[in-house]
Amino acid sequence: MATVSFLSLLRLYLFFFPTLTTPAVLFQGFNWASSSKEGGWYNWLITKVPDLASAGITHVWLPPPSHSLAQHPQGYIPGRLYDLDASRYGNKEQLKTLIKALNDKGIKCIADIVINHRGPVENGRSCNFEGGTADGRLDWGPSFICKGDANCSDATGNPDTGVDFPLAPDVDHLNPTVQKDLSEWMNWLKTEIGFDGWRFDMATGYSPSITKIYMANTSPGFAVGEYWRDFTYSPDGKTPNTDEHRNQLVQWVQGAGGVVTAFDITTKGVLHAVFQAGLWSKLKDSNGNPSGMIGVLPQNAVTFIDNHDTESQKIWPFPSGKVMRGYVYILTHPGNPSIFYDHFFDWGLKDELIYFSTLRRNKGISATSKVKIMAADSGLYVAMIDEKIIVKIGPNGGLGNLIPADYKLAHSGEDYAFYDHLFSWGLKEELIYFSTLRRNKGISATSKVKILAADSGRYVAMIDEKIIVKIGPSGGGVENLIPPNFQLAHDGLDYAVWEKNGNGYLLVCDL
Ligand SMILES: [Ca+2]
Ligand SMILES: [Ca+2]
């Protein structure tokens, strides 16, 4: 058999262990109106699972799952934390069914953890809480609430370690029983309900050292915090507080133990500065890197364009008409990008979002991909990612000689384009591989061809029932065409070879 290069081995390794290397693409699976969806949101979202799978989504962030005060049906003032049947999104069984359907497609689920504050028993004393089980779990009184909280006059707990939530009693997270009860509840969400990780609501509400405790006690597969600090500008409107802003995010992540990620609100702010105020140079920091959190701690950044607050409630909506340009940026750049439900399903952007999330996966763009910013001024942003693609955003078409000769325009949309790297080295090695394959497999002038697919950008054929070859840019559903006794043996740019009873797996073990 032909010499198998290290690169081929690496590709094989990536093929067999995708979960270790597949970059995360998150999806926010709800908006502010979802709790009033007729028939229940969980029942609705489950019909969208195939779309999410085809977009390469790895994690879906679901809304707060517990009972919540009647006037807050979205779940953000939860009371009976264990009571998932009183949620306005659906009941516990519907939630479990949804999570299982997502898990079956390889998608993990993130629970929205609202623990800064808690909704008291309604029509009772303002500072009594019920856990939602027959036993005493999470049944709390005033001693569990931060002293001085305006929502609980007889609170006797420790002073708040963070920001106060004005609409409900703030929980005293320094109380060891609080830490134990909430950790237990979160672990129950994992083991009993099927969640894999957390989105920490209002993470400014308590010290990062508290988040660190919950991270350690619950070991989530993925966790992201909403550490919200307002993005501001100097009085002349020209200088956003970019460095200071992202440093707060970084300090929070480090204070919380360094494993948790944070929503990259700085990157959203920078994109607002660009598309609202035309401050294109702000896309590059003083070191030549992206000026959001992705420029300093990308593996801990979750980039986003909008969410159930900023867009649904018009708190800080992305500049009008520029949403797709924002996604082109975050889906081609480092960090862990996320997609908002509305943009994907309601705004007509689905195909483009799938295009760019597929591009991200195919090119192996990850949370720590390298960005080389080639232009960031006067309506033009051009950046090379991992020396594999070049992305251009902005109305200014004056590219001059910016795009190297070995990059070719592959895709474009309104004020954005992507250039793909042409592999310019010689073909000798590949030609030897295929001529050797031909000889070793006894492929002859009269070999039998069984065509398995010839449509939509892909050609798949079995030769003599010994090998399968795939040619074409589309990867869509090819894995379903390959019988289980065929193993991926080799691949290149838009082509791949599978061998019957091949020794691909053994090669992987040799690594
Ligand atoms: Ca409060
Ligand atoms: Ca608080």
Ligand nearest to the CA of 152: 1
| Closest C-alpha to 184, from 135, 225, 117, 256 | 135
Ligand 1 centre distance from Cα of residue 161 (Å): 12
172 is catalytic: no
Helices 242-255 and 265-277: crossing angle in degrees, nearest 10, is: 160
Q: Which of 130, 149, 181, 201 is the catalytic position?
A: 201
| Residues 6+ away with beta carbon under 8 Å from 370 | 334, 385, 386, 387
Ligand 2 centre distance from Cα of residue 265 (Å): 20
Average pLDDT over residues 398-420: 93
Average pLDDT over residues 265-294: 97
If one compares 403 and 472, the residue with the highest pLDDT of the two is 403
Taking the alpha carbons of 346, 350, 356, 359 in that order, is the dihedral positive or negative? positive
406 is catalytic: no
Ligand nearest to the CA of 168: 1
Which two structure tokens, joined as six digits, stand for 352? Answer: 């483009």
Which pLDDT score is estimated for 9? 47
Ligand 1 centre distance from Cα of residue 76 (Å): 13
pLDDT at 448 over 90: yes
Ligand nearest to the CA of 166: 1
Q: What is the CA radius of gyration of the chain?
A: 26
Average pLDDT over residues 117-123: 93
* Burial class of 103 by CB neighbour count within 10 A (0 to 12, 13 to 18, 19+): middle
Q: What is the DSSP string of 276-340?
A: HH--GGGGB-TTSSBSSGGGT-GGGEEE-S--TTTTTT-SSPPPTT-HHHHHHHHHHSSSEEEEE
Average pLDDT over residues 119-132: 92
Which pLDDT score is estimated for 421? 87
State which of 7-21, 244-258, 418-432 shows the largest mean pLDDT: 244-258
Which pLDDT score is estimated for 13? 41
User: Containing H/E element for 356?
Assistant: helix 350-362
pLDDT at 6 over 70: no
Q: Which residues surround ligand 1, an ion (CB under 5 A)?
A: 149, 151, 164-165, 170
Average pLDDT over residues 494-500: 91
**110 pLDDT tier (thresholds 50, 70, 90):** very high
User: Containing H/E element for 467?
Assistant: strand 467-471
pLDDT at 140 over 70: yes
Query: CA-CA distances (angstroms) from residue 60 to 278, 301, 351?
Result: 33, 16, 19
**423 pLDDT tier (thresholds 50, 70, 90):** low
pLDDT at 272 over 80: yes
pLDDT at 458 over 60: yes
Ligand nearest to the CA of 205: 2
Ligand nearest to the CA of 162: 2
Ligand 2 centre distance from Cα of residue 163 (Å): 5
**242 pLDDT tier (thresholds 50, 70, 90):** very high
How far apart (Å, rounded) are the C-alpha atoms in residues 49 and 57? Answer: 10
Which two structure tokens, joined as six digits, stand for 493? Answer: 């740019």
Render pLDDT for 153-193 as a digit per residue (tens, 0 to 9). 999 999 999 999 999 999 999 999 999 999 999 999 999 99
> pLDDT exceeding 90 applies to what percent of the chain?
83
Helix count and strand count (H, E) for the chain? 14, 18
- Lowest-pLDDT range, 85-99, 103-117, 274-288, 410-424? 410-424
If one compares 490 and 205, the residue with the highest pLDDT of the two is 205
In this prediction the pTM is 0.81
- Lowest-pLDDT range, 39-53, 66-80, 281-295, 417-431? 417-431
Ligand 2 centre distance from Cα of residue 60 (Å): 26
Ligand 1 centre distance from Cα of residue 185 (Å): 22
Which two structure tokens, joined as six digits, stand for 183? Answer: 């950790």
All domains of the chain, ordered by start, with CATH? 26-119+164-367 (3.20.20.80), 428-510 (2.60.40.1180)
Instruction: Tell me the backbone φ, ψ of residue 439, rounded to 5 degrees.
Output: -65, -50
Query: CA-CA distances (angstroms) from residue 9 to 12, 484, 487, 490?
Result: 5, 20, 13, 9
Residue/partner pairs of 409-412 with CB below 8 Å, 24 or more apart = 411/355, 411/359
pLDDT at 62 over 90: yes
Average pLDDT over residues 406-434: 83
* Burial class of 23 by CB neighbour count within 10 A (0 to 12, 13 to 18, 19+): buried
Ligand 1 centre distance from Cα of residue 149 (Å): 5
Which pLDDT score is estimated for 426? 54
Which pLDDT score is estimated for 101? 98
Ligand nearest to the CA of 163: 2
Ligand 1 centre distance from Cα of residue 208 (Å): 18
Average pLDDT over residues 415-419: 96
**406 pLDDT tier (thresholds 50, 70, 90):** confident
User: Containing H/E element for 51?
Assistant: helix 49-54
Which pLDDT score is estimated for 474? 76
Ligand 2 centre distance from Cα of residue 161 (Å): 6
pLDDT at 425 over 90: no
**82 pLDDT tier (thresholds 50, 70, 90):** very high
Ligand 1 centre distance from Cα of residue 81 (Å): 18
Q: What is the mean pLDDT of the chain?
A: 92
Which two structure tokens, joined as six digits, stand for 347? Answer: 């705004």
Q: Which of 112, 172, 226, 285 is the catalytic position?
A: 226
Which pLDDT score is estimated for 465? 93
Which pLDDT score is estimated for 501? 83
